[in-house]
Structure 1
Amino acid sequence: MKQHIFLAVAAVVVLGLTKGVLSFPAEQRETDTIWPIPQKNGSILWMTEEQALTEADDSPLEKKQTFDKIKFFLYTEANPTEPIEIIKDDLKSLVRSKFDFKNPTRFMIHGWMGGYDSGWSIREALLMNGTNKQYNFISVDWSVYSTSALYIPSQRKCSKAGKIVAEFIDWMHDQAKLSFDTLAVYGSSLGAHVAGFAGKNVKRGKIHTIVGLDPAMPLFQYKNTKKRLASTDAVYVETIQTNGGVLGFNEPIGKAAFYPNGGHYQPGCDVNDIFCSHIRAIEYFAEALSQGERNSFVALECSDLESMEKAACGKRLPLVRLGDPNNAKKAKGIYYLLTHSQAPYSILKF
Structure 2
Amino acid sequence: MVSTVAVFLCAAFAVFSGAAAQTTYLPDSQNVYHLFTRQNPSVSQPMVLGFPTLIGSNFNPARRTVLIVHGWDSDAVSAFNTALVPAILSAADVNLIALDWSAGARTTDQNVLISHNVPLCANSAARFIVWLSQQTGATIDQYHIIGFEVGAHLSGIIGRYLDGQVPFITALAPTRHGFNSTNQFFPTDGGYTEAIHTDVYGSGVHEPVAMSDFYPNNGFFQPGCELVDWECSRDRAFLYFAESVASGGFTAARCEGDFDHDVILPINCDPEETLPMGGLTDKTGNFGFYSLPVNAQSPFSQG
Which interval holds the TM-score relative to the shorter structure?
A: 0.7 to 0.9
Q: Which residue of 2 aligns with 1:13?
A: none
Please give the residue correspondences for 1:17-166 in structure 2 after superposition, counting only pairs within 5 Å. 63-67=23-27, 68-94=29-55, 96-118=56-78, 119-129=81-91, 133-156=92-115, 157-166=117-126
- Quick one: distance in 2 between partners of 1:341 and 1:305? 23
Distance 1:329 1:290, change over 3 A: same
Rounded to whole Å, the distance in 1 between the matches of 2:87 and 2:281 is 17
Q: Which structure has the bigger radius of gyration? A: 1
**Structure 1 counterpart of 2:174:** 215
Q: Letter of the aligned partner of 1:297 in structure 2?
A: F
**2:249 is matched by which residue type in structure 1?**
S
Q: RMSD of the TM alignment (CA)?
A: 2.2
Is this contact kept in 2: 1:109–1:192, CA < 8 A?
yes
Which of 279, 283, 299 is matched with 1:344 structurally? 299
State the 1:305 CA deviation. 7.3
Distance 1:307 1:209 in 2: 25
Structure 1 residue identity aligned to 2:114: Q
Aligned partners of 1:104 and 1:179 also within 8 Å: no
Q: How far, CA to CA, are the matches of 2:44 and 2:217 in structure 1? A: 35
1:265 deviates by 1.1
Specify every segment of 5 or more residues in structure 2 that has no aligned partner in the other structure, as ranges. Answer: 1-19
Q: Give, in whole Å, the separation in 1 of the partners of 2:39 and 2:174.
A: 31
Letter of the 1:284 counterpart: Y
User: Are residue 335 (structure 1) and residue 275 (structure 2) matched?
Assistant: no
Instruction: Return the match for 1:179 from 139, 164, 170.
Output: 139
Q: Counterpart of 1:301 in structure 2: which amino acid? A: R
Structure-1 separation of matches of 2:198 and 2:61: 34
- 8 Å contact kept, 2:25–2:104: no
User: Structure 1: 5+ residue runs without aligned partners?
Assistant: 1-59
Do 1:80 and 1:128's aligned partners in 2 also have CA atoms closer than 8 Å? Answer: no
**1:285 aligned onto 2:238:** no
Distance 1:305 1:277 in 2: 20
- Report the TM-score when normalising by structure 1: 0.74
Greater fraction helix: 2
Name the aligned partner's letter for residue 97 of structure 1: S
Shift of 1:155: 2.8
Structure 1 residues 110-161: Cα deviation after superposition (integer angstroms, max 9, x where no partner): 00121123322111111135xxx40000000000111234544333311111
What SS does structure 2 have at the residue aligned with 1:314? strand
| Contact kept in structure 2, 1:305 and 1:336, CA below 8 Å | no
TM-score, normalised on structure 2? 0.84
* Structure 1 Cα separation of the partners of residues 90 and 271 of structure 2: 33
**Which residue of the partner structure matches residue 4 of structure 2?**
none
Match of residue 219, structure 2, among 254, 259, 263: 263
Structure 2 counterpart of 1:300, one-letter code:
A
Query: How much does 1:181 deviate?
Result: 2.2
Identity score, percent: 26
Which amino acid in structure 2 is aligned with residue 193 of structure 1? H
